[in-house]
């Protein structure tokens, strides 16, 4: 069990990842977790994810954070694990790479990699936010589903010469990329919950866009950029924004900051720190249909907020999708669980 952090932070005992997950992320995860044995079946079938080999690669070519190496970063990982109540403190490796990046890898024993480009860009509290972001990926169990995305991207490249096959796979990839982007919004929230410093979280996101010269940047002006991006111009700009998302696994920086700021402003962050959050022992009670409806509702609400003229034409579709999608997932879940009972199966994996 992780030790107590070096300064007072609220520990979120037994917090479920559902507390911070974006509705679109949470809906997908609840559905996938309900499919008994899905994670294990996928890992065996893909044959593309060798966690042991990856760990050995980073063990041999990067610096493993510990009490002797990068001890302050080691404290950040320990503290994030303590606050988010992980049973084990994940390993973290510092990799020589000028490109700012961090990632959580693995499912049986996940670990974190942070590049020197990101480490050198951020101050101590900003690093805490990033470490907490990656610990959030671990708590949510995102790695298996991200592996699916990478496998399908590779498959799409191999069958590109088959038009119908490529189009079908690309449609699935596009849906997974959208989920991937929402999972990043989820873990920005997890990073904030771990670090419990909203200003540091916002600074980190601005630095990802504009580099280290923080004195030249302004949070309010950056949020105004987000509003300008949201407004767009006409339907052509709306279409261009959609096209710019093709192949993107992360939301743009202004969107990430605006979404995190909105989550703070609506009181969700403070409610969780006050102890109002779902616990892990209730994860198996989560309704797939309800989460599907929540996901569709979140899209509808975001479309109602936006001034983008293209999105305005899609608002009515979301309303019907919220109801139809929930009913569909309820039906699928009931049939799957019924089949599991006939096969003598137990509860779904969490």
Active site residues: 134
Q: To 10 degrees, what angle do helices 163-195 and 71-83 make?
A: 90
With CA atoms as reference, report the closest residue to 277 among 174, 139, 146: 139
DSSP 8-state code for residue 7: S
DSSP 8-state code for residue 92: E
Cα distance between residue 280 and residue 87, in whole Å: 13
> Could you please report the per-residue DSSP string of 101-157?
-EEEE-SSS-EEEEEHHHHHHS-HHHHHHHHHHHHHHHHHT-HHHHHHHHHHHHHHH
Distance of CA 212 to the CA centre of its chain: 24
- E strand or H helix at 241, and its extent? helix 235-244
- E strand or H helix at 171, and its extent? helix 163-195
Dihedrals phi, psi of 15, to nearest 5 degrees: -65, 135
Interacting residues of 19 by C-beta distance below 8 A, sequence separation 6+ = 12, 193, 272, 277, 278
Residue 50's alpha-carbon distances to 64, 94, 176, 208, 249, in angstroms, are 19, 20, 21, 30, 22
With CA atoms as reference, report the closest residue to 184 among 318, 33, 30, 24: 24
Dihedrals phi, psi of 133, to nearest 5 degrees: -55, -45
Asked if 148 contacts 176 with a C-beta cutoff of 8 angstroms, the reply is yes
């Amino acid at each position: 069990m992780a030790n107590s952090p070096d300064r007072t932070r609220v520990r979120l005992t037994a917090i479920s990842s559902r507390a911070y997950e974006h509705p679109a992320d949470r809906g997908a995860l609840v559905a996938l977790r309900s499919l008994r044995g899905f994670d294990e079946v996928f890992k065996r079938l893909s044959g593309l994810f060798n966690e042991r080999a990856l760990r050995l690669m980073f063990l041999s070519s990067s610096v493993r954070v510990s009490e002797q190496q990068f001890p302050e970063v080691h404290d950040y990982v320990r503290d994030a694990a303590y606050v988010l109540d992980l049973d084990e403190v994940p390993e973290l490796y510092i990799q020589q790479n000028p490109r700012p990046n961090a990632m959580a890898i693995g499912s049986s024993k996940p670990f974190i990699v942070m590049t020197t480009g990101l480490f050198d860009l951020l101050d101590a509290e900003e690093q805490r936010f990033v470490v907490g972001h990656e610990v959030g990926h671990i708590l949510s169990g995102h790695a298996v589903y991200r592996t699916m995305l990478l496998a399908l991207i590779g498959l799409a490249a191999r069958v590109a010469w088959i038009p119908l096959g490529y189009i079908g796979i690309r449609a699935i990839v596009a849906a997974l990329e959208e989920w991937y982007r929402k999972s990043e919004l989820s873990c920005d929230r997890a990073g904030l919950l771990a670090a419990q410093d909203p200003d540091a979280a916002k600074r980190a996101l601005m630095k990802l866009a504009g580099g280290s010269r923080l004195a030249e940047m302004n949070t309010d002006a950056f949020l105004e950029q987000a509003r300008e991006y949201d407004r767009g111009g006409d339907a052509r700009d709306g279409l261009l924004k959609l096209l710019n998302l093709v192949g993107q696994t992360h939301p743009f920086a202004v969107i990430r900051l605006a979404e995190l700021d909105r989550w703070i402003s609506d009181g969700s962050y403070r409610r969780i720190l006050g102890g109002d959050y779902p616990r892990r022992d209730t994860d198996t009670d989560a309704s797939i249909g309800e989460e599907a409806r929540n996901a569709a509702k979140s899209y509808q609400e975001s479309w109602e907020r936006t001034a983008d003229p293209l999105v305005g034409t899609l608002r009515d579709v979301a309303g019907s999708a919220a109801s139809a999608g929930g009913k569909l997932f309820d039906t699928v879940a009931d049939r799957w669980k019924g089949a599991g009972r006939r096969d003598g199966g137990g509860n779904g994996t969490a």
